[in-house]
Every structure is written in structure tokens, then in C-alpha cells.
Amino acid sequence: MSDFAARLTDGVRRHGPLCVGIDPHPGMVPALFGGDTAKGLEYWGRALVEAAAGKVAVIKPQAGFFERLGPGGMAALAAITRAARDAGLLVLMDAKRGDIGSTAEGYAEAYLSPGASFEADALTVNPYMGLDTLEPFAKRAEAGGKGIVVLVRTSNPGAADFQMLETGGKPLYMHIAEALRPLTERLMSPCGWSNLMMVVGATAPEEARRVRVAAPKALFLVPGYGAQGAAADAACAGLIGGEGGVVSASRSVIFPKAAEGARTRDDWQAAIEAAILAARNELQAAALA
């Protein structure tokens, strides 16, 4: 069985770095699918999976948008995740979990263990509580060919509050990137990239280059392209020769203007596919530039 890094690298070679974010913002799921209900989210998410399959390597569901609808919303998340993996898409679960010892094991089991309801290919995790809190996720990654995606430098304005604090002559996010080096090496894939991925926001391309120097073998998950304002070339700043990470886009590809007036399933799907292909082509060109 190939591991996460190998599967992702293979997919990015074929489709480019676009990662489709499945972010069901409240009130934005079309009435066509059932609107803002657990079932609506499920049908809409399954339709997005159909539209994305064969065009991109990976999707990224945002757990918070499903959790807000309770256990039913979480069931929708599980169904979409399963449908995506069945369709040959990789699933990068964006849940930003993090806790100590046995609780972290609970989250790792939920998202990274074979056969779990929410089984994904990789999971985003928060490093604030320390390296020991990443260990249960790392163990699951090693055992099951999964990936872990650690928050390093995020794309929101408030990222500067703590991530940019100077400590020992460098900002905190750089300290974290360097502290992750042993784990990045431990999770190295035969494909040449590590199964440890880092979140490095597209809104900070200079910082992405800096993290890239400190972590040459870590895959990057780059949020912030599209609706959050970053251009394709800035988003691809940390990639190397079209490899080494993915760039996520959400609102611009799942809620494109052209889909707003769609009255039929076919019109909707055509609008989504066009938006995905446009973003895919723009990013693929930028990644290879």
C-alpha cells in the first residue's frame, strides 16, 4: 500500500495542486440539494465529489461546518468522505484537532484509523499543546499510510498575534517548523516527500519560502488562495517544480457566481466543473512556472 505522501504526489503530478475545500457555509448550500440541513449537506457534498473526481487529486472537508448541524451533520461528513475515497479522491480532513495523550488517540482513531466513520487520508492538527500531543497522530500515520497536517503559519489576519512572536531570534512559526524536523524525517515516504504536511498560508509567500528552506521535505497545505485574496503565484511560492504540496480553494470553486442562478442539477454541475477546471489550470500553470 502506498502512503499519503506518495498518493498525493502522484495525484498532484496528474492534476496539479488544486485541493477543493468542501465548506458548506450556512445558507449557501443550494435549495436544489435540500439547503442548510444535514441531508442537504450530504447530497451537495456528494455532488461536489462527482464534479471533482478525475479533475483534482484531493478534497478538504471543513469539519466545523458539519459539526454545527450536530450528529446528523457529522453523518453527512462521514458519507461525503466515504464517497470521495470511493471515487478515487484523497481526503484531507480539516478538523484542526489537538489534545493530550489518550484524547489525541481518540481523534487519531476517529480520522486516521482504517474503517473509522470519518476515515480520511490526512488530518489537520494544532501543535500548541506540544510535540507529545502529535505522537498519537504520527503513530496512526505510520501504521496506516496516513498523513498529518500541522498548523504552522495560518492565512488569517490574527495569525500574527502569536505565530509571529519573536523567540530565540526567529518567529514562533519558524521555531515550530524546525521543531517538527525529526518528526518530518521519521514520517518520510519512499516517494521523497514526508507524510508530515505543514499548513502555510498563501497570504504570506515570503514566509512560505522561509518554511520551505527549514523543511525541504514537508508537503505544504496552502490555504488562502481565491476568496481569501492570494494570487496563484503567491499560493505556489512554497512548491517546487509543481510538487510538494496542494493549494486549497473553497468558495471560488464550490460557490462560483455562475452556479448561483442554476435551476437544474446539470446547470449546477456545469458551473462547478468550469470553476474547478479554471482554478485547476491557473494553479497548475503557476506551480510549474
Binding range to a copy of itself, per CB under 8 A, among 39-47, 69-77, 181-189, 238-246: 69-77
Residue closer to a copy of itself by CB (options 5, 77) is: 77
Stretch that binds a copy of itself, among 41-49, 82-90, 130-138, 202-210 (CB under 8 A): 130-138
**Would you count residue 143 as binding a copy of itself (CB under 8 A)?**
no
Q: How many residues does the chain have?
A: 289
Answer yes or no: are the C-beta atoms of 162 and 172 closer than 8 Å: yes
Per rule CB under 8 A, is residue 156 in the interface with a copy of itself? yes
Question: Is 102 one of the binding residues for a copy of itself (CB under 8 A)?
Answer: yes
Among residues 126, 191, 277, 278, the one that binds a copy of itself under rule CB under 8 A: 126
Among 179, 213, 258, 288, binds a copy of itself (CB under 8 A): 179
Q: Binding to a copy of itself by residue 165, rule CB under 8 A?
A: yes
Is residue 96 part of the annotated active site? The answer reads yes
Q: Is 26 in the site for a copy of itself (CB under 8 A)?
A: yes
Residues near a copy of itself (CB under 8 A) are: 23, 25-26, 62, 64-72, 74-75, 78, 94, 96-107, 109-110, 116-118, 126-133, 151, 154-163, 165-168, 172, 175-176, 179
Active site residues: 96
